Each structure stands twice: as structure tokens, then as C-alpha cells.
Structure 1
Amino acid sequence: MKQSKAIRRDSKVVIISGSFKPDPEDRNDPGKIEHAVLAVDHLRDQVTVRGVNVRKIARKPTQENPQGGFDERECSIHISNVMEVGRYWTKRGGRPDDDDE
């Protein structure tokens, strides 16, 4: 439960496990691995992350949308599969764009 309290809406996270984990060649590129949190469900320990676990939802025809069709929407993943950006770069030895020299 501690981890779910640390991650909040609009915070930046990195996917650390599961099928949405970044490729090895992309791990040092902050733009490709950092994602924004859209929603957090503390009761189910689920988090919704922008651009991760995007599913196609079929929509029935309505008066506003007579043709119907498909919409894409982000679904939630378990909170143990994400890590805050600050903790991630601390474990990896710092951000690649930081010049320590």
C-alpha cells in the first residue's frame, strides 16, 4: 500500500515490468520511457497511464454518432508495474542528459 500512496495523478512514471516495458535500446531516452499518470485507484492498486495499455472499444451507433465505430482508451495496469521517475533514475545512476562532469 505504500507504493500506491506515493504515485499520484499527473506524476511521471516508468513502466518497469509487463508487456509495456521499454525496449533495451530505449531505456536511456527519457522521452520514450516517461509517462504521465491519468488516474489512480488505491482500492484496487491500479493506475491508468497515458499511452500504455491502449484498447479499442466498439461504440454502437447513436444519434450523435450514427455510424458507430471504434474508440481507443487507456485501461489500467497494476501499480507494482510502475515506478516514479525520480526513483528510477536514482537506481540507474542518474539521468543521461545530466552532466555530472
Structure 2
Amino acid sequence: MSEATGGTEDVRMIAWVRGVVQGVGFRWFTRANALRIGGLIGFAVNLGDGRVQVVAEGPKENCEALLEWLRTGDTPGRVDGVTEIWDMPRGGYPSFDIR
């Protein structure tokens, strides 16, 4: 994984994505974009209520880039809204995975 540069702090971003986001490859594309952005660990998982939860840890600017992608509409399916919270990173993820 790449390291934070320029004094960028590492953060934990948890996002809940609402809309038509299950059964459309959303988690796969989320993982692909997290890897493209780089420096991120975490996961994307389907929730029982139809949302996808995305947990990403790494440099704040990288997490913000992933959050922006989740909101742009350039995603599979249809995103009706994204809610996020920010926290301190917990670590323990080997990479960015699909769960």
C-alpha cells in the first residue's frame, strides 16, 4: 500500500449507499475504484435492507475521492443517496475486499 504523503492524515470513512446497488456489480466496482485510487484498505458489503456499506481507511484525500465516486452517478445501478461518517482508522484489513 502507498503511504500518506504531504502530512495527509489517515482516517476511517464508513458510507452507506442507498438505491439500486445490489446485484449490479456495485461492490466489485467499488473495490476496483478503491484500488485505482490507491492507499485504501477496507471492504464493501451488501446489507439486508438493500444498501451497500463501504468502509475505507487510508489518507483522507483518498477516502474523499472514493466518497466522491460513490456520489457521482458513475456507478453501476442507481445511487439515490450516500450517508457517511468519519472516524479514526482501526486497521486490521489486509487490502480492500468484497464481503
TM range (shorter): under 0.3
TM value normalised by structure 2: 0.26
Q: TM-score, normalised by structure 1?
A: 0.25
* Greater share of residues in strand: 2
Which one has the largest radius of gyration?
A: 1
Query: Which gives a bigger RCO, structure 1 or 2 (Cα 8 Å, sep 6+)?
Result: 2
